[in-house]
Structure 1
Amino acid sequence: MLHYPEQFDGIGIVDQADWTNPKRVVYKPRPFGAQDIDIKIECCGVCGSDIHTAAGNWGDLPKPVVVGHEIIGTVVRKGAGCTSDDIKVGDRVGVGAQCFSCLKCHRCQNNNESYCAKCVTTYGQFFDDGYCSKGGYASHIRVQEHFVIPIPENIPSEYAGPLLCGGNTVFSPLLRNNVGPGKKVGILGIGGIGHMGLIFAKALGAEVYAISRSSAKKEDAFKLGADHFIATKEEPDWAEKYYDTLDLVVVCAGSLKDVDFEHLPHIMQVGGRIVSISVPEQSEQIVLKPFGLLGVSIENSHLGSIEEIKQLLKLVSEKNLRIWIEKYPINEANIHTIFERMLKGDVRYRFVLTDYEKEFN
């Protein structure tokens, strides 16, 4: 058995008023259970959810708040009740945005674990015993076995991490809407998640439409796999030009305030779906005109399932896909820089924290 500590080291928010300046912290993990696995973390992607949680946009949490749910690391402990032969001590594995569910309800039994009433997200949510989950900006993490995922050998760790939350969040509605050859798919919002949506929709064989407010990311969008580009603020007639075109639009914008829900349904075919994966600030609301949705449905998608993550990893492995990342060694100063850059939208397109061994030794 590899060495692991009784307490975990991390970098977390200790003062909500100063959330962009996280500090080194030491904390106890929740009690180790028979179905638990401990992982020594190697790297972790940075998600927009990290910013919302750190800033308190989704409510106040007990300090320290340790975020991060795009985790790659090595198994260092496996509970006696674990049953998977695919996960052994010493294996490289990943953890996404969920760390626990009941595994018994109808939803869990049908690959909808993230919709379970007992769902616990990887950070910032409470277990029944009152422990608040803590994430991947840390030396280690403790996770229910079901949510630990083997990583294909040919996907480098820093490219694998962001697939486990952001990547899977956009892949799930693509998969559930049978995206493939013959489908016309729009990805609205070309950011950390949206850029992955372009890559995956193209890899699945769809005709891909990148939708953004301006043409600033047009060149990137075509490099990422888009066949068409729609700049909604620069093309006054975009809704008429693309009328009755798309089967599916996945809304990947971090906020829904600037999404034109009055005109967006016009570009959908009858029976088309607009699926939002955005989880903005709690106070945010959208206004819809019901008659504008005739023949079109709009819905919100949560985290994808573990089975969907495995299918995404298989696709990425087989097609040798690479998302666009920028790496930073994990430490207090670099997390501050990342938080400030994300607030400015200064990222192309996903930050990944690395060099955990150096920081946490």
Structure 2
Amino acid sequence: MGIDFTVFKGSKTGDIVEAKGHRDPGPSEVIVKISHCGVCGTDEHYRHADQGLGHEGVGIITEAGSSVHDVSEFRVGDRVGMSWFHKFCGYCQSCVSGSHQNQCINSTYFGTADWDQGCFGTAVAWDVSALFKIPDEIASEDAGPLMCGGATVWDPLYGAGVRPGSRVGVIGIGGLGHLAIQFASKMGMEVVVFSSSESKAQRAFEFGASEFHITSEVEKFGSIVKVDVLLITANTLPDLNLYLQVLAPGAKIFPLTVSMESLKLSPLSLIAGCFTVSGSGLAPVASIRAMLAFAAKHGIKPQIERFPMTHDGVTEAMQKLREGKMRYRGVLVAA
């Protein structure tokens, strides 16, 4: 049967373009009617590409491929979420290891395949290997930003051996940072927030921060108990030399901001402090499932601004994101 859909794409000029398409589900795919989609900073990176935008989709399964019932628990009527990855192969070493699907060498993902469709649209065809059931406790408008932004900040905390009582530094209170504060706080960690905006202090504490430190025009921090983990979630990369003084020996640094800039940190600094700088892409399947369950249990949700899933709505949301005025995640809502 398949489905005809509308999708909002990027273009060479950077303008948002409305397009039409049709998809029939493959054997292991389902058709998902999109109800909501988060607006992520990485969508901005593809604004000049002729491809469907959006990778934080939430919707209802309306049709299942011929093998879906044999290889998964998904059924028509399920409310599901989609993220950066479109499909995992299931047979490479990363997949069969059980916890590293995000390193699958045969995966397809946003920007590399399925350019005709995107979650900024009315429907998609999606492989069940990269699909997630949304817990009843999480509203669809809140689930979208969790699928990418939430998973991005969750996995370093969940997968890197950080324990309750650890001190976690978070640089930046934006789309990623405000979720990182909530997750770390609810996981029993002491959350130390660094921000250039003093006006965000109150919100940081409301999200669960234990401490708040201003970074603008600061050349050296005062007396701060050292942090065990540092998450960089600001939209620009900081000079890490400023933060060396607040890192505990053996601290782990996770640059989560998608940027082409170079990190400002000398090898000697790493050697002297036994620090580790770790890349952390979107979480693997088991981790995202755990993240959704944890968010449902502890009431973790993004602070969102809503926009209609229309040409004007997508354009406005992308513009507000580009200008750094979004507080803190935009969500497109279907009529």
After TM superposition, is the score higher than 0.5? Answer: yes
Would you say the 8 A contact 2:39–2:318 is kept in 1?
no
| Residue in structure 2 matching 1:225, options 208, 211, 219 | 208
- CA separation in 2, counterparts of 1:125 and 1:310? 24
| Residue in structure 1 matching 2:183, options 178, 189, 200 | 200
Deviation at 1:315, TM superposition (A): 0.8
| Residue in structure 1 matching 2:17, options 23, 26, 47 | 23
Q: Does 2:246 align with 1:250?
A: no
- CA separation in 2, counterparts of 1:252 and 1:133? 30
Would you say the 8 A contact 2:138–2:296 is kept in 1?
yes
- The runs of at least 4 consecutive aligned structure 1 residues that moved more than 4 Å come to none
Q: Residue 157 of structure 1 corresponds to which residue in structure 2?
A: 140
- CA separation in 1, counterparts of 2:72 and 2:112? 29
Q: Structure 1 residues 271 and 120 mapped into 2: Cα distance closer, same or farther (>3 Å)?
A: same
Deviations 1:10-53, CA, capped at 9 Å, x for gaps:
1222x322x2x312211244x63211111111110100011111
Deviation at 1:212, TM superposition (A): 1.5
Q: Residue 242 of structure 2 corresponds to which residue in structure 1?
A: 263
Percent identity among equivalent residues?
28
| Residue in structure 2 matching 1:106, options 90, 93, 96 | 93
Letter matched to residue 85 of structure 2: Q
Deviation at 1:199, TM superposition (A): 0.6
SS at match of 2:240: coil
SS at match of 2:46: helix
SS at match of 2:36: strand
Q: Does 2:46 align with 1:53?
A: yes
- CA separation in 2, counterparts of 1:177 and 1:85? 29
- CA separation in 2, counterparts of 1:92 and 1:112? 25
Deviation at 1:162, TM superposition (A): 0.7
- CA separation in 2, counterparts of 1:261 and 1:299? 14
SS at match of 1:300: coil
- CA separation in 1, counterparts of 2:32 and 2:135? 17
- CA separation in 2, counterparts of 1:134 and 1:98? 13
- CA separation in 1, counterparts of 2:83 and 2:211? 31
| Residue in structure 1 matching 2:223, options 241, 257, 264 | 241
Letter matched to residue 25 of structure 1: A
Q: Does 2:24 align with 1:36?
A: no
- CA separation in 2, counterparts of 1:219 and 1:168? 25
Letter matched to residue 96 of structure 1: S
Tell me, which stretches of 5 or more residues in structure 1 are unaligned? none
Q: Residue 268 of structure 2 corresponds to which residue in structure 1?
A: 291
- CA separation in 1, counterparts of 2:164 and 2:111? 39
Deviation at 1:97, TM superposition (A): 1.2
Q: Residue 78 of structure 1 corresponds to which residue in structure 2?
A: 64
Q: Does 2:156 align with 1:173?
A: yes
Tell me, which stretches of 5 or more residues in structure 2 are unaligned? none
| Greater mean deviation of Cα atoms: 286-295 or 184-193 | 286-295
Deviation at 1:331, TM superposition (A): 0.8
Deviation at 1:179, TM superposition (A): 3.0
Deviation at 1:133, TM superposition (A): 6.2
Deviation at 1:317, TM superposition (A): 1.1
SS at match of 1:200: helix
Deviation at 1:4, TM superposition (A): 4.7
Would you say the 8 A contact 1:212–1:230 is kept in 2?
yes
Q: TM (normalized to structure 1)?
A: 0.87
- CA separation in 1, counterparts of 2:53 and 2:102? 18
- CA separation in 2, counterparts of 1:327 and 1:46? 10
SS at match of 1:263: helix
- CA separation in 2, counterparts of 1:114 and 1:143? 16
Letter matched to residue 105 of structure 1: C
Q: Residue 254 of structure 2 corresponds to which residue in structure 1?
A: 275
Would you say the 8 A contact 1:199–1:323 is kept in 2?
no
Deviation at 1:84, TM superposition (A): 4.8
SS at match of 1:340: helix
SS at match of 1:16: coil
SS at match of 1:217: helix
Would you say the 8 A contact 1:72–1:93 is kept in 2?
yes
Q: Does 2:111 align with 1:124?
A: yes
- CA separation in 1, counterparts of 2:199 and 2:267? 32
Q: Residue 77 of structure 2 corresponds to which residue in structure 1?
A: 90
Would you say the 8 A contact 1:248–1:274 is kept in 2?
yes
- Number of residues of Structure 1 aligned to a counterpart in Structure 2: 331
Q: Structure 1 residues 218 and 115 mapped into 2: Cα distance closer, same or farther (>3 Å)?
A: same
